[in-house]
Amino acid sequence: MAHFQYRARDRQGALVTGALEAADVNALESTLDKMGLIPVKITAGVAASKASSEALERLKNAFFSPPVEELILFSRQLATLFSAGIPLTRALATLEKQMTTKGFISAIRTIRLDIEGGSTFTAALSRHPRYFTELYTNMVAAGEAGGILDDVLDRLAFMFEKNAENKAKVKSATLYPKIVIVAILIAIVVLMNFVVPRFAALYGSFKVQLPLPTRILINASNFFTQYWYLLLISAVVLIVGYKMFKSTASGQRSLDKFALKVPIFGPIILKSIMSRFSRVLAALYKSGLPILQSLDIVSRAVENKIMSEEVKAIEAEVRAGKPLSEPMAKSKFFPPMIVQMAVVGEETGNLDEMLEKVAEYYDREVDASIRNLTTTLEPILLTFIFGLVLFLALAIFLPMWDILKIVRK
């Protein structure tokens, strides 16, 4: 198979560029014709070009996050256009003009061309995992199969909106503590570089035994000014080590386990996971996916290794013939309330509705916890600041009293 670069025109006359593998030029022209493209120029590429472009794509995926806001807008508007009876390809062509991110626009264009070439919407989406996750493509597949694609797209937009809303609330609630911590770090740097060395020179001219807090502060200042590069290297090593540790399966599992146990934030994270679990499972189940397939997708959508393992364990017991509520009741992570709602849902045949009510309940709980976050963190920050100021005051002013006694003598 040879690698070719091509420039072509679509049915609307828009210029499209890309790369494909084909046996020869005639085979490539046949492929482009099936995609609804009229070739303008075809040039033979090289394997290195393909490898470099793939490497660049991996680099982009590693450092640039998908545009969540645009994905929400895309899902919501596509649902509206599709429910109004507009053909899918025409709706996608309309959305191409409304998006602002170049990569996302290119993905939508490619999806439209794939559909015009005979591909299903689900298959076309699955070729762009950077923008459309497995959860997204599976729900779209269920929507296509059940004839409720517009409804599924609306649910997806709502789920992404809630997720983005919760993240924005956490950022807003932790803004004040972040500012305080940054201010403290700047103050420590200034003290260690400019203030403490002058006091150390002053105290050094007197033959007195310095108090322990002063000796600690002076030694810390000396280390900071003389070996600052070691601190910088240590910080870089810690950051790189953390990222490498996080990239491993065992490392990610340890971090996710710690996240659930950390004070203050742990309960908020667990409530958020319960909301996501309930909402996603309800959406998948309501879309017509079997419960086992839904649990399999949910296990990868909860974004926590520990909870993913719990959902996998539940899936295994459901596969063995047990009702959903039974293995949930055995888990230490699922509260009795969500278990009881699952029992009622299974008995009445309204499992999706019960899970949606659970998701709404935990959304309210997360909102309340986030609102109280600043109030909870303030006493901790004030205690830390008070302790730091007290230590600095003792370290700086205790020697002055000893010096005054010497001067009076």
Task: State the burial class of residue 58 (Cβ atoms within 10 Å of its Cβ: 0-12, 13-18, 19+).
Answer: exposed
Show Cβ contacts of residue 58 under 8 Å, excluding neighbours closer than 6 positions: none
Residue 310, pLDDT score = 92
In one-letter notation, the amino acid at residue 256 is D
Q: Minimum mean pLDDT among 104-113, 202-211, 282-291: which range?
A: 202-211
Residue 241, pLDDT score = 93
pLDDT tens digits along 326-368: 999 998 899 898 999 999 999 998 888 999 899 889 988 988 8
Spatial distance between the Cα atoms of 95 and 98, rounded to a whole number of angstroms: 5
**Arithmetic mean of pLDDT over the chain:** 82
The pLDDT-based confidence of 58 (bands split at 50, 70, 90) is very low
Percent share of the chain, pLDDT over 70: 87
Segment of 26-30, 177-181, 210-214, 321-325 carrying the highest mean pLDDT:
321-325
Report CA-CA distances (Å) from 259 to 73, 265, 270. 31, 7, 9
The pLDDT-based confidence of 64 (bands split at 50, 70, 90) is low
Residue 106, pLDDT score = 87
Length of the chain equals 409
More confidently predicted of 49 and 23: 23
More confidently predicted of 33 and 185: 185
Report CA-CA distances (Å) from 321 to 26, 39, 73, 343, 355. 54, 55, 40, 15, 20
More confidently predicted of 235 and 56: 235
User: Could you tell me which residues are beta bridge partners of residue 19?
Assistant: 5
The pLDDT-based confidence of 11 (bands split at 50, 70, 90) is low
Residue 61, pLDDT score = 47
Residue 220, pLDDT score = 87
Contact 103, 66 (CB under 8 A): no
More confidently predicted of 48 and 64: 64
Residue 157, pLDDT score = 87
Residue 60, pLDDT score = 52
Residue 35, pLDDT score = 67
Residue 48, pLDDT score = 38
Q: Do domains 68-172 and 265-371 have the same CATH topology?
A: yes
Report CA-CA distances (Å) from 189 to 143, 194, 388. 57, 8, 14
Percent share of the chain, pLDDT over 90: 15
The CATH architecture that domain 68-172 belongs to is Up-down Bundle (1.20)
Residue 339, pLDDT score = 92
Number of CB atoms found within 10 A of residue 336's CB: 9
**Tokens of residue 206, six digits:** 């007197």
Residue 239, pLDDT score = 93
Contact 298, 277 (CB under 8 A): yes
Place domain 265-371 in its CATH homologous superfamily.
Type II secretion system (T2SS), domain F (1.20.81.30)
pLDDT of 286 > 70? The answer is yes
Spatial distance between the Cα atoms of 61 and 68, rounded to a whole number of angstroms: 14
The pLDDT-based confidence of 407 (bands split at 50, 70, 90) is low
Residue 50, pLDDT score = 45
The pLDDT-based confidence of 172 (bands split at 50, 70, 90) is confident
More confidently predicted of 31 and 268: 268
Residue 29, pLDDT score = 78
* Mean pLDDT within 100-127: 87
Contact 18, 3 (CB under 8 A): no
Domain ranges of the chain: 2-63, 68-172, 265-371
More confidently predicted of 47 and 232: 232
* Mean pLDDT within 226-243: 91
pLDDT of 195 > 90? The answer is no
